[in-house]
Amino acid sequence: MTIAMHDEATKRVDPRVKRTRKLLEQAFIELMNEKGFEDITIQDIADRAMVNRATFYAHFEDKYDLLDSFVRQQFNEMLAGKVPLAPVHDRERLQLIIVTVLDFFSQTQKHCAPPDRQVGPVLVFGIQEELMNYLLDWFAIAPPTLIPKEVDPKAAVKVWSWAIIGTAIQWALGTQKVSAKEIAREIGMVLTAGCNPASG
């Protein structure tokens, strides 16, 4: 589901459903800060949100589904806030997208303790998919001048998204001696090597 489709679907959700999901998400985050993902149970989340287990399962399959939904939502909100979609396709904008991803992983790393290894795969695959959808939406409203004309945009966004996510993980887990802006500039240049966009 692309960002645009997701937004339309969200608008149609019953306010009571939104409210309940928000309560469950808030309870989940509070518990994450207290004892970590591995130790959290569905009953813990339901009790903290003051709902029953049946209500939880009416909204999420399990705590992994809740984590995935919350992470995707937070990531999309950060992207929309810092790099709203616009018909501009240049290296400067690509670098801003990369910086936003780096910042997201850096902030997430601070809230996920080392024992919470189960969080990693959910986080990585969810964000990669959302980033890929975002890039596809971006390519759809702006001529993709940063990739060769003979390259399929769908193939390009798969490569771009994994390259950006992989870099973000290494940077967030490292000492972060190099600034996000500098890393973004280097990755942006690598991803667009061989192209000669008119701007950027």
Q: What is the per-residue pLDDT for 40?
A: 94
The structure tokens listed for 154 are 């769908």
Question: Is the separation of the CB atoms in 48 and 27 below 8 Å?
Answer: yes
The whole-number pLDDT of residue 1 equals 46
Q: Is the pTM of this model over 0.85?
A: no
What pLDDT score was predicted for residue 42? Answer: 97
- Among 62, 172, 164, which residue's Cα sits nearest to residue 108? 172
CATH 1.10.357 in the chain, residues? 65-191
Q: What is the 3-state secondary structure (H, E, C) of the chain?
A: CCHHHHHHHHHCCCHHHHHHHHHHHHHHHHHHHHHCHHHCCHHHHHHHHCCCHHHHHHHCCCHHHHHHHHHHHHHHHHHHHHCCCCCCCCHHHHHHHHHHHHHHHHHHHHHCCCCCCCHHHHHHHHHHHHHHHHHHHHHHHCCCCCCCCCCCHHHHHHHHHHHHHHHHHHHHHCCCCCCHHHHHHHHHHHHCCCCCCCCC
Amino acid in position 22: K
How many CB atoms are closer than 10 A to CB 13?
Answer: 10
Q: Can you give the pLDDT of all 200 residues of the chain as single tens digits?
A: 444 444 444 445 678 888 999 999 999 999 988 987 889 999 999 999 999 999 999 999 999 999 999 999 999 999 999 999 999 889 999 999 999 999 998 888 765 554 455 667 778 899 999 999 999 999 999 877 888 888 899 999 999 999 999 999 888 887 667 899 999 999 999 998 856 554 44
Q: CB–CB of 89/143 below 8 Å?
A: yes
pLDDT at 56: 97
Encoded tokens for 169: 């993980």
User: Residues with Cβ < 8 Å from 51, sequence gap 6 or more?
Assistant: 20, 23, 24
Let me know: does 141 contact 89? Beta carbons within 8 Å: no
* Domain 65-191 annotated CATH 1.10.3470: no
pLDDT at 76: 96
Domain(s) labelled CATH 1.10.10.60 in the chain stretch across: 3-61
Residue 7 has a pLDDT of 47
> Residues 90-104: pLDDT tens digits?
999 999 999 999 999
CATH number, span 3-61: 1.10.10.60
